[in-house]
Amino acid sequence: MPSPFVVVGESLVDIVVPADGGDPHEAVGGSPLNVAIGLSRLDVATTLVTRLGDDEHGRRALAHLLDSGVQPAEGSVVAGGTTSTATAHLDASNAATYDFEIVWDLPGQRLPEDALGMHVGSLGTVLEPGRGAVADLVRQAGELGVFVSYDPNIRPAFLEDAEKAWGDVRDLAAGARLVKLSDEDLRLLRPESAEDDVCRELLDGASTELVVLTRGGEGARAFTEGSTLTVPAPPTDVVDTVGAGDSFMAAMLAMLCEWDMVGDTEGALQALDDARVELLLHGAVTAAAVTCSRRGANPPTRRELPPTWPAG
Give the model confidence (pLDDT) of 220-272 as tens digits.
999 999 999 999 999 999 998 889 999 999 999 999 999 999 988 889 999 99
The confidence band for 90, taking pLDDT boundaries of 50, 70 and 90, is confident
- The whole-number pLDDT of residue 1 equals 61
In tens, the pLDDT along 170-179 reads 999 999 999 9
**Cα–Cα distance, 4 to 263 (Å, whole number):** 10
Average pLDDT score over residue span 182-205: 97
CA atoms of 79 and 69, how far apart (whole Å): 23
Give yes or no for residue 96 having a pLDDT over 80.
no
Q: Exposure pattern of 111-127 as b/e (b: 16+ CB <10 Å)?
A: beeebbbbbbbbbbbbb
- Please return the burial class of 136, using the count of CB atoms within 10 Å of its CB with bins 0-12, 13-18 and 19+: middle
Helical pair 244-258 and 31-41, crossing angle rounded to 10 deg? 40
Q: To the nearest whole number, what is the mean pLDDT of the chain?
A: 93
Please check the confidence at residue 45 and state whether its pLDDT lies above 90: yes
pLDDT, average across residues 172-198: 97
What local confidence, expressed as pLDDT, does residue 265 receive?
A: 83
- The tens digit of pLDDT for each residue in 18-34 reads 888 888 878 898 999 99
Give yes or no for a contact between 178 and 150, defined as CB atoms under 8 angstroms apart.
yes
| Residue (of 181, 114, 106) closest to 141 by Cα position | 114
* Plot region of 260 (φ>0 → left; ψ -120 to 50 → alpha; else → beta): left
- pLDDT of residue 65 exceeding 70, the answer is yes
The CATH number assigned to the domain with range 5-299 reads 3.40.1190.20
CA separation for the pair 140, 143 (Å, rounded): 5
Task: Write down the domain spans for the chain.
Answer: 5-299
Q: Does the pLDDT at position 284 exceed 80? A: yes
Residue 125 has pLDDT above 70, yes or no: yes
